[in-house]
């Protein structure tokens, strides 16, 4: 099947209640999106799975939740006030403002990642590029800071200026000492956070991919400064295969190469810590149903690295508009902690029991993922049009699906069947997201649930009233089994934990 375009995905998401343009009744506002009744469930499931995998299931990572607005000095220390910028072009006639790098990449089909405003200006003049809206030349090229400014308190002058956070990461550095002491953390360890981030993107685009308000799921992973090259967990990922695209391959115009982590480490293509985190994060996606063929890992070119990064890799996904960053992994060294020590005058070092010395730990890799980009990945890899059924089947992993179960009375005009179906629904509701539907033919009701990814459908019929069992249908295969009502709950648990559908009960189709 041809890949769905991002525009088609936006239409599908709106039609089914996953995501809508924000404030559409007022004409909308570019770069802001709202999530509907199914979108919010999928988003919550993604965040819950991420938190469980990265925080609850591990001994070495704890969570925190910082505020969105923080002291403005935080952003001076982090370098965001000075360097968190994109180059912007302004049209001399219609005053349209556009993000220069994306515009040039679209027009000239070359990568301009990391070029400064002077180099971009040269390219614009050399290629006689004009405003895409009115065809006039550009009057102005300048750096545009992406942080949203606001005023804190009743005074609206520069003494009260603060910013909506452009990344959640800085709160982890600012609260570092407290979290380490409270949670009695020992190196190596991580601190994780999920929360909103805001960027005044010059040209937000591609639906949820690049928006002005989004959520991040980030980990700052800290290690001893003398142990930045040894990862104690690397054995866990040695046999994992990844699609490597190093800086050298890009410079020599070579194609990415699929290889085992152990071979990449032998060839010194990647550090142990990067290999561990990249493989672990790809596994998180694929364990939740994403297609491994749609992933590759790409090392940043020197000129595209952020001001704080020693080495950065991206986990990229093959979106319908090309391979793009899904998740970033920067080696931020001790840059952030040292900057906050300098700017705040506070001691953020920790005591190393072994050497009896104070040390400032290094962040060897910072897995940083946008919830909305993960949302798109799971939606694209789940979306299938089933010709035989004549409808879309959204094959979301059972732990991600907005609705786990739908319950239908076979017919809506028999009170004893409707009553039984509602009893079944109420029994399941305590444990799962349940959708109840008694409108239309059974076929139509199945199709509606397939389209929103509901994992299992339960039909209550005449025999259910007399014999106390129901039919359960599996979304992905349409197979059906008969299960006792008293057993449904734990059978669904077994299924969510990976049990084979046919083993849940007596097969009927
Ligand atoms: N703390 C590091 C950091 O923020 P980043 O590469 O700028 O690094 C991390 O952002 C992740 O946040 C990206 O990989 C992407 O998943 C998500 N992200 C960044 N900008 C975004 C935007 N405008 N809209 C949606 N997601 C975005």
Cα of 241 to ligand 1 centre, how many Å? 25
Q: Specify the pLDDT at position 467.
A: 80
Euclidean distance between CA atoms 388 and 479, whole angstroms: 14
Is the separation of the CB atoms in 386 and 450 below 8 Å?
Answer: yes
CA nearest ligand 1 atom 20, residue: 210
Rounded Cα distance between 200 and 147, Å, is: 6
The preferred substitution site among 325, 326, 333 for testing ligand 1, maximizing ligand atoms within 8 Å of CB, is 325
Ligand 1 atom closest to Cα of 204? 23
**SS3 for 359-409, per residue?**
ECCEEEEEEEEEHHHHHHHHHHHHEEEECCCCEEEECCCCCCCCCCEEEEE
What's the average pLDDT block by block, 10 residues per block, for the chain (509 residues)? 88 98 97 98 98 98 98 97 93 92 90 85 92 91 94 94 97 98 96 98 96 98 96 98 97 97 98 98 98 98 88 98 96 97 98 92 97 98 96 97 98 96 96 96 97 98 92 97 96 94 92
Counts for the chain of helices (H) and strands (E), in that order: 17, 26
Within 10 angstroms of residue 508's Cβ, the number of other Cβ atoms is 11
The whole-model pTM stands at 0.96
Which pLDDT value is given to residue 1?
A: 57
For ligand 1, residues with CB inside 6 Å are 167, 169, 199, 201, 210-211, 214, 216, 218, 325-328, 366, 368-370, 372-373
Question: Probe ligand 1: pick from 35, 101, 214, 378, max atoms within 8 Å of CB?
Answer: 214
């Amino acid at each position: 099947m041809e890949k769905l375009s991002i525009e088609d995905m936006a239409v599908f998401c709106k039609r089914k209640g996953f995501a809508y343009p924000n404030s559409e009744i007022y004409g909308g506002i570019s770069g802001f999106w709202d999530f509907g009744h199914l979108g919010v469930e999928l988003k919550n499931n993604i965040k819950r799975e991420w938190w469980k995998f990265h925080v609850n299931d591990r001994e070495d990572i704890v969570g925190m939740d910082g505020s969105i607005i923080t002291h403005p000095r935080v952003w001076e220390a982090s370098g965001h006030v000075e360097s968190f910028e994109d180059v912007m072009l302004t049209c001399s006639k219609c005053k349209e403002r556009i993000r220069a790098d994306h515009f040039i990449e679209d027009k000239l089909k070359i990568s301009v990642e990391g070029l400064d405003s002077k180099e971009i200006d040269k390219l614009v003049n050399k290629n006689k590029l004009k405003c895409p809206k009115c065809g006039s030349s550009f009057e102005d090229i300048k750096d545009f800071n992406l942080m949203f400014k606001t005023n804190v308190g009743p005074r609206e002058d520069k003494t009260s200026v603060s910013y909506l956070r452009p990344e959640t990461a800085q709160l982890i550095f600012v609260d570092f000492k407290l979290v380490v002491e409270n949670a009695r953390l020992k190196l190596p360890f991580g601190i994780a956070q999920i929360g909103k981030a805001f960027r005044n993107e010059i040209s937000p685009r591609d639906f949820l991919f690049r928006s002005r308000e989004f959520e991040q799921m980030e980990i700052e992973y800290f290690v001893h400064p003398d142990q930045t090259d040894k990862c104690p967990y690397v054995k866990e990922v040695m046999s994992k295969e990844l699609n490597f695209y190093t800086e050298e391959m890009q410079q020599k115009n070579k194609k990415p190469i699929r290889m085992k982590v152990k071979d990449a480490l032998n060839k010194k293509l990647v550090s142990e810590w990067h290999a561990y985190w990249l493989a672990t994060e790809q596994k998180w996606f694929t364990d939740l149903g994403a297609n491994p063929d749609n992933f590759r890992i790409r090392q940043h070119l020197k000129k595209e690295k952020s001001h704080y990064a020693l080495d950065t890799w991206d986990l990229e996904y093959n979106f319908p508009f090309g391979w793009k960053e899904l998740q970033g992994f920067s080696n931020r060294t001790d840059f952030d902690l040292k900057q906050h020590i300098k700017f705040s005058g506070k001691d953020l070092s920790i005591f190393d029991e072994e050497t009896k010395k104070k040390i400032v730990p290094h962040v060897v890799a910072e897995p940083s993922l946008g919830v909305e980009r993960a949302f798109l990945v799971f939606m694209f890899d789940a979306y299938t049009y089933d010709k035989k059924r004549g409808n879309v089947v959204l094959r979301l992993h059972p732990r991600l699906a907005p609705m786990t179960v739908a319950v239908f009375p076979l017919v809506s005009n028999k009170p004893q069947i409707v009553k039984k179906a509602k009893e079944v629904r109420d029994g399941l509701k305590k444990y799962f997201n349940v959708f109840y539907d008694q409108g239309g033919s059974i076929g139509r009701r199945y199709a509606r649930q397939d389209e929103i990814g509901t994992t299992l459908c339960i039909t209550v019929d005449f025999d259910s009233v007399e014999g106390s069992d129901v039919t359960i249908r599996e979304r992905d295969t349409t197979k059906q089994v008969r299960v006792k009502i008293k057993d449904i709950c734990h059978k669904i648990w077994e299924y969510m934990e990976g049990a084979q559908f046919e083993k849940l009960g007596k097969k009927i189709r």
